Amino acid sequence: MKIANVKAIVAKVLAVGVLAGAVVVAAPTKAQAQEVFVGVGGPYARHDFYERERIEAFRRHEAFVRRQEFLRHEEFRRFHHDRFDRGYR
């Protein structure tokens, strides 16, 4: 190869490299706001998926416990208070 051909190839490679770099720099960057989910329980980052799952499981358990307490209270009320309202059958 002649030295002129090598210089032309190097110039072409550098030109392509510079253009590729310009395209990468000019590409829009991802907004930071896209990384946060805002829901009923508050904002969660995507990498906190398992933390969100743990919090939701805890809330489901709390709802279950509240429901059980309510049912237990209703059963107590029906047995102890409503039996006097029934009269003799």
Q: What is the pLDDT along the chain (89 residues), one digit of tens a residue?
A: 687 788 888 889 888 888 888 877 777 766 555 555 555 555 555 567 788 888 899 999 999 999 999 999 988 888 877 666 665 54
* Closest to 37 measured CA to CA, from 25, 54, 49: 49
Stated pTM of the model = 0.40
Torsion over CA: 74, 79, 84, 85 (sign): positive
Q: What is the pLDDT of residue 71?
A: 95
Q: How far apart are CA 78 and CA 84, in angstroms?
A: 10
Q: How far apart are CA 43 and CA 31, in angstroms?
A: 16
Q: What is the pLDDT of residue 36?
A: 54
Enumerate helices (H) and strands (E) in the chain, giving the number of each. 2, 2
The domain segmentation of the chain, as residue ranges, is: 1-30, 32-89
